[in-house]
A and B are shown apart, each in its own frame.
Chain A
Amino acid sequence: MSCATKRGEATVSMMPSNLGYSIREAGQHIRRNWSTCLGAIVTIFLSLFVIGVFILGSSLVSNLVGSVEDRVTIQAFLSDGADRAAVDAYQSKVLGWSNVESVTYKSKEEALQEYRETMSNRNAEDAVAALDGQNPVPASLVIKLDDPKQVETTANQIVADQEFAAIADTPENAASSVQYGKETVDRLFSVTNYIRIAAAVLIVLLVFVAFVFINNTIRLAITARRREIGIMRLVGASNSFIRGPFVAEGAIEALVGSVLAIVSLQVGWNFLKPQLSNSLQFLSFELKPQVVIGCYVSLVLLGVVIGLFGSAIAMRRYLKV
């Protein structure tokens, strides 16, 4: 067995990457210090999970709010016998108000048609047919506002208006001719705002904690391998080679954490969705697949960023050349 031939073979496959080495070393450290590494994984998982809930939840809520905001309009019902000129005049008057975006006239026929469509799945056809060609639905002015929060003030303004009383469906009680979705609106606004603030604070906190945890485990890993690092330097290992195992460890922990977060989100959603749809049938609880996939991808990316940043900072302090 001559040395020359052995070396001849060796030169054929030069310079393998140290990826395998890094992952092996990182895996070994994780196995030996699993409790600390588990801490890092769990914090990553928790922060990504909350972020995921927030992303998906806010996409859901903004779908809902979007449809509700459309419905935050004031309907002022008009009497069948209202003078058309008076109606037109009143329409342009309301349009002149500062917070009013648009005022549209909805005729009796349009209103009936709409009623048919929205109610079709509740056997509206039968109800309409029972009317014998009569149209009980009043015409109305549909008023959209710039700022949906002002809905109550504006509605009161209309009720108090003498000009409106003249054309209202129920002149003796103008208030009952004016309708808007007051309660839903109030609640949605306050709730979404609080949720947003709370989630943002929570996310910042959790990302910070996850970051600290990763940083800590990597520091531990570095301390555990001090001797090795010293010898690596001595024999001329490149800096990227020395960093490899630590980067790999941060990335592995982050990846495991983010996969756990994604799985929990998916499982949780699959469990929650039927229940929500059951109890709130009139709302749609659909998430677009693009939104879900985008959310998961960004969770993985965010996790990896936390992992890499955490280990990079730990290394910067401990691995000076």
Chain B
Amino acid sequence: MPSHFRDTEQQGVPDVITGGPEPVQTITASTDIARSEGSAVDAPASGSLYAPLESKGKVVPRTGTPTISLRGVTLIYPAQPNKPALDDVSLDIYPGDFVFVVGHSGSGKSTFLRLLTREIKATKGDVIVAGQNLTKMRNWKVPYLRRQIGTVYQDFKLLPDKTVYGNVAFALECIGKPRSVIEAQVPEVLRLVGLAEKMDNFPDQLSGGEQQRVSVARAMVNRPPLLVCDEPTGNLDPAISLGIMKLLDRINQTGTTVVMATHDREMVDSMRRRVVALEAGHVVRDQERGGYGFYDAL
């Protein structure tokens, strides 16, 4: 197995994620992508999935326009009019960033992520993603926004009656990609996540970690510049979680901005990336090379 993963990294990673000759629809400024891409190439194609993380503690320079920008965002669910799920949140996330969003259950992590994909609209304030103000965005434009954002969820959201290949291909079929593109990109991205050999398996023939890798593959197959993950390792045991984490890290190495909500203290502590901590809808900490922090005492 390790040799297989090494193989994937050398061939697949830079090609799939940054896109070859076909221009990537960019959320980030293209120069930023190019810069991050350089760093990905520099990073040695290191061993297996379980090798030490090269990018530990990496800080993304705060230059250019932010990929994500929240300005005084308040979100009140109609069901809870007196308790805002997010209260006056302002935050910038730059291209190539890797951001952990941490906080207690009910602190507003999922709400924050749902704002980014415009599953919900801010009650007040502006959410700007890829230069577009989602608060003012027309409904019909939302699908085109989502094509630029990959999403990964705790419950995988795979279709049980489609194979691994079918599940990933479905994401491209849905947005009207021709068959030739699908046939080229799906095997590539499955190689990237290390599932090339299980292409014809159905989801219930896979382990939880493998299923989650399928959903990461589906999120990445259209080469989105932004990846949003809501507790992607919430259902997985620690060793498998680390595998997923490294996959996401590797994807981030190639320039993809990753925003990830998590409860996994060990993972946050070991990665030493940017940490945004929420509590009752407020940002209580925003720290480069942060740890899970605060909650150590609990």
Contacts and interface: CB of A to CB of B under 8 A. Distances in A.
Contacts of B174: 231-232, 235-237, 241
Interface stretch (A4-12, A83-91, A196-204, A257-265): A4-12
A233 B143 CA distance: 7
Nearest to A232: B174
Contact of B20 (A7, A231, A238, A321): A7
Contact of A16 (B159, B176, B185, B218): B176
A241 B176 CA distance: 8
Interface in B139-153: 139-140, 142-149, 151
Interface string A198-239: 000000000000000000000000000001101111111111
A236 B149 CA distance: 9
A173 interface: no
A4 B222 contact: no
Contacts of B117: 234
A23 to B, nearest CB: 14
A46 B243 CA distance: 60
A191 interface: no
Interface residues of B, number: 33
B175 interface: yes
Interface string A161-178: 000000000000000000
Contacts of A15: 176, 178
Nearest to B178: A13
B52 interface: no
Would you call the interface of chain A mostly helix, strand, loop, or mixed?
helix
A15 B181 CA distance: 11
Contacts of A236: 143-149, 174-175, 222
B282 to A, nearest CB: 28
Given A7-B21, A227-B159, 19 more contacts: A3-B15, A3-B184, A6-B180, A7-B181, A7-B185, A13-B178, A13-B180, A14-B178, A16-B176, A233-B146, A234-B151, A235-B174, A236-B144, A236-B145, A236-B147, A236-B149, A236-B222, A238-B144, A239-B143
Interface of A: 3-4, 6-18, 21, 227-228, 230-239, 241, 321
Interface of B: 15, 20-22, 117, 139-140, 142-149, 151, 157, 159, 170-171, 173-176, 178, 180-181, 183-185, 188, 218, 222
In the A-B complex, the 9 residue pairs with the smallest Cβ-Cβ separation, listed nearest first, are A236-B146, A236-B147, A237-B174, A6-B184, A10-B181, A10-B180, A235-B171, A236-B143, A238-B143
